[in-house]
Structure formats: C-alpha cells, structure tokens
Structure 1
C-alpha cells in the first residue's frame, strides 16, 4: 500500500528510511522508485515527511501516510506503546459488535484513531459484523461484493496496513457481515504427487486464524459519513502455538539475497517459510470469484533455526550468464526488459503490496502456529530477481572485444530486474584477475551478488600492468557506486547507446551477389556499416521468415568486407555483431582492402571476358600473388594471433593467408566484377574444416577451390567443377549452417 502510494507521489529523490530496516538503513529513492543503494543511518540524518494520500473510493482523501519506512515504524510503535493495544486489552470482546468498541488512542502524526483491541478470541468461526444503514455497495456493484465495500472498510494482516486480506461484504438490513477468504490456498502440496499436504496452514475449516493478527480499518460510520480519521481495530485468536515475530532484510554474507529472522516460539521444533502471492500479482481478474479468494502460498523451505536465507533452499546462483537471485520468489514472467522501459509511462511495475512472506512455527506433533508475516513490498520489492539480459548486452562492450586493446571494457554496472519488474543498476568491481597467455580472466561481481565471467585478450602484459588496469576500472566503478544518481544516468546513457538499429549508413562497398533471402541483404548492409546491434524485429513475425541466427551467419559469411568475427541473436529480434577490428578502425581496413581488390581486378583485364574467364582470372591471380600461411593453419582454432590470415587483409595486403582468406578474396572479386558467387564452408573428409567457392556460370553453379589450386605448381584441377568431382583426398561435405540459410542450400547445388 505504501509502496504504491509512494510511486504515485512527486516526492523528491533522496535518502529515506529503508522499508525493511528503517532504524538501521537509509535507502535511495530516485523520485519514482526505491533503488538498491543503502547506507547506515547516521545520527544527524534527517527524515523528511511526505503526505501522499490513501483514498477509499469516492471519498475524501486522508493525508495520513508517510514514506514507507516511517509508516511501518510509526504504526508498529503506536501499537506497541498505546495502553490497551497490547495483549490483555479486551479478551472478552466480540467481533459481532466491533463497531461499538471505543477509541482509546489518537495518533495525530499519522491521523489514525485506534480502538480497544480484541485479543485472544477462541471462536475462529466468529462473525465480523457491524451496523451499517447506508448502502455498503455505494450503488456500484460492478466488481461485486469483493471490492465495492472498500470505500467503507478494509482488512489487513500487518501493522503497516499493506497486506490486504480478501473480504466480501454481505448486507442484510442495517447490518453488514464481513466474510474473510484466506483458507482456500492455504495448503501446500507435494508438487511431485499433488497429494499429501506437506504443510497445511488451515485452522480446521474455519475462516479465521491463519494470521497472527488482523487490522480492520473503517473509513465511515454506520450512515456512510466519513470519520475525521480512519479507525483501526486490531484483533486476534488464541493459538496452541504462538506466531513468530518476523523481520526481513538482506543477508550481509550473501549480498542481494532475502534473509528472514524471527523470535523463537515455545513448543516449536521447526519453522516453515512460505510466500503468499495475491491473486492480482498472479494475473487474476475480478471476473472470476475463485481467482480472488485469498493468497496463494508457495512453500519455500523449513529450518530448525530462527533465521533463514533463501539461498539455503534454492540455488540463487546459476553459475553462468544470465544469473538469478532469490529463486523461489519469482514473479510471473514480465515483458522483455527492453530499454524502452526507461521512458516515462512505458512500464507499470508489479504490485507487491498484497503479498507477504510468512513463517509458521511447527511443534513436534505437527501443530502449526498462525503466520508471522512481513509485507513483500518492503521486504522483497527492491531485491534483485534476475539480470536484465537484453539491457546488459546493450551496455556491454563485449561486442567490440578486439585483440590488443589495453583497457577493461566491461560496463561498470549490472542492470537487473527487481521484484517489481523494474530495471535497476548495481555497481560492479573486477575480482580475481589473472592472465592466461595474453588473455585476462576475471569475475565481475555486482554489489548485490551477481557474478559474470569476464574474458578478453589484451596482448602482452605484465602483472603490474594488469593490476593497474583493474585498479583503474574498480576506482571508477566505486566512484559511480557512491553516487546513485550518476550511476543511473551513466547506465541509461550506455544502454541507450547500444539500442538496436534499423537504419544503416550506405558505405558504397560491394555487397553479396547471391543471397538466399532479403533479410540477409539487410544484415549485410548493416555489417558493412559496422552496426553492433541490428534490429530484425520487422522480420520476426513474418510468415516464412528465416531464423535470424541462420540469416546472420549467411550475411557474415557472404560479406567479406564486413570482417565479422561472431554473431548472436537476442529474443529473436536483435542480431549482435562482433567484429574482428574495432568499429573505429573498420572503415580504414575496408578501404585499404577494397582499394587493393580494385587494383587486382584492374590487373586482370576483365573487359570483354565471360564469367567463366573472369573466375579463372580470379583463381590465377591468387595463385600468382598469395602464399599459404601454414603457421596460421597450425594454431587453428586459436586464430587470435592470426586474424588477418583468416580474412581478406592477409591475402590482399600481405600476400598470405589460409583457405578462408582465399575464399573471401574470390568472393570479393566476383562482387566487384558482377559475377554471382558464394563462399562455401564444410569439411574435407580426410582433413578438417575448409572454405571454397561456388560461381554461377552460364546459368548453373560450379565449384572452385582456389586454395587447392595454389599448390607447388598452380593448376586448374578444382576450377569450375561439380560437387561430385571433389574426389579422393579432395572429397568433402558442406556444412550449410556455416555459410547459408540451410533451407536454401539446395539452390546452390551443382549439376
């Protein structure tokens, strides 16, 4: 309740009492939501008050709420210190005349009247009734009796008045009975058998007694006239075993994870932990009464201790990207964590105000206590649920990993989804760096416990140089961590800089001449322009559209001047490209190689020649000018020290390369000369991975292996032949998904 009210206010960004530990911590409110940033309360810290209203329907607004932490503290303290509000107050009172209880205390600061409590009730089948001469439905029964009475009366299970219990109002004459629904989902079954309750929270078949305390809030009198202040009445029931008093926080030994602690209960030998989810949070609608009857409780685990960390029952770390935290508390899957959620009004957070985390004391004979609970909005809301995968990819510089770079290029934060569904940002540090050859291996560790492997080839480096680079990175990250506002700003700017692109710059460079699908052409243009994140969402829902992964691999294979090293696809809508060279250097490399290719084409004197003669000229040029790079071949697949040999740069500027360079050069020559061509990838039966070409000559596809034609004595043995003519040691098989969209591979078959 308080969280939702706070989100609707214009309360300025600043440090406020943490909702879960208001006496110990201050938490940063960014003007719209709680963030993950906290620090210890200082003696001089000021706690500014705010007065956002809580409004019953169609009634005057009461300015009686303060920031979340302050409300919890004030209400709990009030209930603890006001005479008559502690156990022993009105043990003989009845729920049937609850509206007749006298007000015994007024809290002027909160604007609430408190009546005598009704404690220690023995009849869990008791009726909660009151006089009500006005129309409880207020003339509006659109949502039925489950909601239409809330302008007049509500029921909560916690002192902070956040966790509302589902009730129905039944009016007979000038009396109203309030029915409570909290038993329908109060049994947790063994999920493997759907039988044999593992934990039964029901108290016989009666309505009351699931919770340790109830708080009735009345806003109007029997005639429907607004009270000067809301009137709160606390009541509870006898129980064989007392409910534990529960508090929630973050485990200091496991950052970011939910930890609970509670008072020991006499007669209990173990405790069960449950999470109660409201029907609304589960996606229920009010058009079906069965979806609104009480909370749905998820069993999280048991312990004999009086403290519990969620990691004790669930593996919070998956050990690999992406990682989750606080498993077992997951919300229903939200929409993709798109950068669009940073815009105003783009996203409505999950409402946790009705959820609760509870602890049940259990005796040796199986008797259970009422639930001791804390409200989920304060205990869970700002905790991390999972890494915001797409946002992390958008922020990460991994897409520009380049051999020889001399800096740690990881983002200094990890974007994550909290339990309200919002994207937050946790600062990171680089831990346990080590050098393996010329590659740095380390662990990015966020402030709230996410861990991500970091690996990058940096080149020859001393231990002292590595330490200096890591220290510089960590100092910058720590500076951001100390300024949450700047961290948020830097994070958003970084992520938005990686927003997927639909538009590309026309480079004027040669493009593939024989692609299998228009998506490949689109991707090829982007790759030539050096786009890191390519938006392919336009194709995602088109009937018959290829898998973007296949299209991206074809575009990379058939666009030699793009110098693509690797592609990946996010959400089937974004192709992320890693280039062999920094994007800032890409254009220079392209121009150098393109000019070399144009010089080579001019030397071939192709004017007036047929396509077959042109292909022969391409082959002979490489045989005359290129020497096979056996050193680069020997270290495959570790090509990091021989990048040029595996693309056009080595073949056309240094005169040396391996099969991939030969095939790319043949393809580029054909693109410049206007001959339809493709690079083909596969395996030689008696060898390993290999690349060659096919050219469309006189209406049919024929194969050329320029690498194998460049022997000790240049020859034409593998020039413009059919697939079947690769025999003996040259026999090979194509691996379609390395060079073409597999469904179209047959279009390139030779006769």
Structure 2
C-alpha cells in the first residue's frame, strides 16, 4: 500500500494555478494561489502523483472537487472602493481561478441601504458555478414557493432594478446548492429571419459572460431561513476573445427616434444590436431573459427611425417599450389593469455585441440616461377619442387639438398636433370619403379620421391652416416638448370599476335607481362604472338608455363627451366606460358655480308660502330677466364650427356666470332651479318642425305634467306664451315632436302634458 504524503500544501490536482491543503488522508477545501512559497518542502510532481484523487473510504464528499469551491486571494491584493447605489464599501479584489466558488457568508452592511455586501468576485470564467451550503431539502421549499426569488435573485445593475434569470439546483437532499445564471445564448431577429448567437461557441444558457457584471442577491442562510437583510455579491466576468465596443446613445427630437453609435472593435466583422427584458409569468420569474436582435450590421451606428409597426397600431420604436403589461391608454380602453395573458416584461436594456464570426463580446449597454421614457411608442387612441367617422361639418371642429401618444414607459403624453401638407385628401380606397391625417410634433405617429359625405365646396387648405393655428394655440406650454397627462398608476386608479353607491354633494335625478346610480358616478367623474347588478336585472333598460337619461336630467353632469357600454364583459362584470371633456379641477369648479347660482337664485326668488305654480312662474321670469339668447353660439353650431369656445351655452353656468345660453342652457338651468325648489321637473329634447333641434321642460304641478319653454318665453312678442301649457299648446311655428333621448323609452307616455 502506497504511503500517504504528509499533511501540507501541494499543487492542486485539478488547477495548476492553485495549491490545496492535504490533511494526510484527504484533500480539504483550503486553497491559495500557486507561487506564494507555501509548497511543502520537496514536493514535486512525484509527490503530487502520490496524493490520492479519490475520497478516503468512509469519508464521502472529501475528495478533490472537479469544481473548486473556494476563492484564491491575489498576491499583493490592494484595497479598492466599490460604490453601489450611493453606499461605499472597502473590499479586497479576489480573482476566480477555479470552476466552482463557495459563496462567502461574511458580509458588511452598506450605509443607507437595506442590504449587506460581500467582497466582489472578479474574473469569473464562463462555466463557473457558485455553491452555498444547505442542510435542508431545497427542492421541497422550491416547490412550495414557486420560483427561486425567495432564495436567490440575479441582477445586471448595482441598483438591482434589471433582473435576469438565476438557476439553483441541489444534487441531493441536505447537500450544497449550486447557483448559475439562467440566460439565453441566442436572440430572435425582431423582424423575423431566424435567430442570432449571442455568446461565443461552446457556451450554454447556464454560463456567465453575456454581461460584464452581475449582482447576486442571497435572501437565505445555510438553513434556508430568511435573512434580516439580503446579501449582495458583485460578480465580474472574464472577458471573452473579443472586446466589447463603447456605445453612445442620443435622441433625434424631431422624430422621437433613438440613435446608437459605437467604437469599432479590432477583429470585429459584425455588430448585433440587442434589446432584452426579464420575463415573468404570473408571480413566478421565468428562468432567463428574453433577447431580441434589433439589427445586424457591419457599421458602427443604428437608428430606430425605421423600427415601426402599422399593421395593428400606429407605432414607432416598436421593439423598445419599457413598460410592463398594458399602457395607460390600453387600461382606459379595456378596463383591465393586467394583460390578458400572464406574461409581463421588465428590466429593459439595449446594447451592442461585437462578433468576429466565432467569438462574441459581452453586451455593451447604452447609457440612455433616462432619455427613453418620454419617447413615442404608439398613438393613444383612447385619449384621442378613438378613430371615428365625421358625420357632419360641425364634427370637424371636434378634432383633437393636441396629439396624445403612449410613450415608451407606458404613460400617456401630449404634444402639439398638426395636419401636414397633403394631410386632407380623398381616401384612395373610397373616393367618397375625405381622410384627415393628424400628426404629433416630435413623433412619427399619425391619427386618422374620415368624413363620409363631405361638402362639395369644402376648402381643405383653408381648414388645414385654421386647424394648425388652433392646435398651436392649444399646444402644451413647454415650447413643443410633450407633457405627461396620465401615468399607468393613474390609469389603473381610474380604471378600477366603481360599484359602490355614489356619494356626491350635488342632487341626483332620474326615473329609477339605475339612472341615478350612473348619474351620481358621472357627477363624480368616474371612468369605469360597474353596472352589473342593474344591467343583469330582469327587464332592465339598456345601458345606453340609462346613460342618455342620466345626462339629460342632471344639471351637474356637465362634461360627458362619450361612453361605451363595454359589450364585452370584463371579469364577469358589465362595465360602463365614460369619457369626459375636461380636467377634474375644472369640472368641480363649474359644478360648484352652478350650485352656488342655484342657491342664490332660490334665496332671492322663492319665498315662504309659494305654491308650485307660483315657483314655476317666478323662476321662469327670473330666467328671462337675467339671460339672453346666445346667437353667436347658435350660429357657430349651424355654420359647422362646433361647440368650441361655446360649451358653456349648453350648461347652467352659462346663465350664472355669463348670462347667455342657447335653448339647452335655458332648459337645464330651469331644471336645476325647479327641482331644487321642490317641484318635479324634467329636461325635454326634440325637434321644432319649423326650426330644428330644441330643448324645453315639463313640470309636475298638482299631479299633472305641464310644458314650459323658457327660451321662447324670453321674447317680447311671446313672453310667457309657453308657460304651463299642454303639449297641444305648441302650435304653428312652435309645433314640435319629442325624441327618446331624455328619458327611458318606456316612460315617455307618462310625461305627457294633457
């Protein structure tokens, strides 16, 4: 039997660059660099050959490791400062010379941070694995907790905001853990055309080196218990056979595109522009990152100006989005706050890889410095009011004067809108349609709409000039820069369906609880209203019918410009989405002004002991004395100029603040005054056969309904001619018909004034 060598330091049987301690019967885990004068006297190759390479009988696991578990301290190591997210820690440089490293349990707190740090690990070879002791069954914990994040996480940046995949395995119960990256060695081409290798030949998805450095976060101790503070280890990888380029990023503000340029690399024949993100499925992290090759080029620059997608959406920077799940605009369109599937993305990076055909450099990421977030991604169609067809000349003036877009961070931003030269033209697919194209300044995005039956004498160029002037006046006050109007968080808050009874300080009117429920939420400005319990009730009126009555009969519903009854149910609920035409602060100001005007008028006009008839007459007379008909608002509407600048003329604040309104303003104000005075009153809409669309009222006195037209009563020739009359009293030029938009259809006969 061969005599065992004496205990001492000997050349490592696996790595000639290390010395390992032989205890007389087994190799130990203690190593240090070769050449530090620690070899046992007289040790040479014959001695090393005599040292056994297998574990001694009865001592499993005490054999020379094929993957070394410890770190070698560099001879003459010097102290350096590692800065991490504002904290600084003095550490010693350590160089990895083996293929398996045991993670240190020694860590120091980082001032101002909620974690501790170990010494950094430098020059890690691609096939290195990290080990950590475990005296428990990791697999059972893994099954219980789902992913590895409860134990280990891996990041690409010192701020721990760019995650990548990590893989943890345990060869046997209560055995040590092995930790490696879980990444991809290839990327799919963004525009098709197969895949591209990202790492040098001979590497695999559990190898290090695709990125220059990693940050391993450990959340557990060797017993699997959660640490009070996680421990972070910085890992720097060994450079491959080709250097990485230096990358610079800029933005073309005219088009909202990204420009990447980089330094040429000696020996490189091709450069790969790569975008990447971490993938998550539900609550579990997917093992690895998703990589997309944006371009392959032999040059030293790339631009996203041609990275567009107009198949389903008008989109630019099509592969550069940095938000997770749905954008703010999509949330407000669908009522969903999470994507339809379970897949989300996070931790985006862009960079360049140099290639010589065989080797790939590490990814050199672009320092984008926060410049990406506000760049355009796609047209925010919900914020723009949807793509609709113009039904008449007046609708032209309702075209949006600001351009809304979803930026790369998923938020909704606004910039100046304009119609370019040639932006009003006949639709090539349907010459009977006139197509309008609106563009956002600083973007390549467009928004289109069509006029189905345009006027023969329409002057497109004159309209374009006038539109662009109005859009310039309405532009965000930032010198042309886009402004943020809605974050994803705000959209999620707005999109959270309300199902509670609305609590508002203003009176709410309606023929039933369904209408009052909707009206109350409209007064509050709620975007998504859960109407399930009403819509699903047997014999319920339609959502559209309920909304129309809520708008017509409530003077404090002032800025509803559209609604969608969400015919597709969301999470087994029926939702109503309401679009508003003004900011919440302005809505609240106007509502308060109306309430103040109503209260002040009643206190000066209505006295104790007045009958309902007396109130009807007195408030009709007050309205006539304090209001004039706004002919300019009417003329603008009839001339096809829309309501722009005259919105007040259809609201009660037009009476109380300006003293001039059109028929709709008279009727809604009388409705507000009479109901506040305790006399049941409704707003009525219809058509005067000799004049067109009109609005008036009906009041209920002593159990009977009577018609009142305060607009026509405010005239020298017909003063109070149409006060408390039956429907049949509208004769001659006053003959009219009612439409069905002001009250639920089945109740129309019950409001007849006989």
Q: TM-score, normalised by structure 1?
A: 0.49
The structure with the largest helix share of the pair is 1
Greater C-alpha radius of gyration? 2
Higher-strand-fraction structure:
2
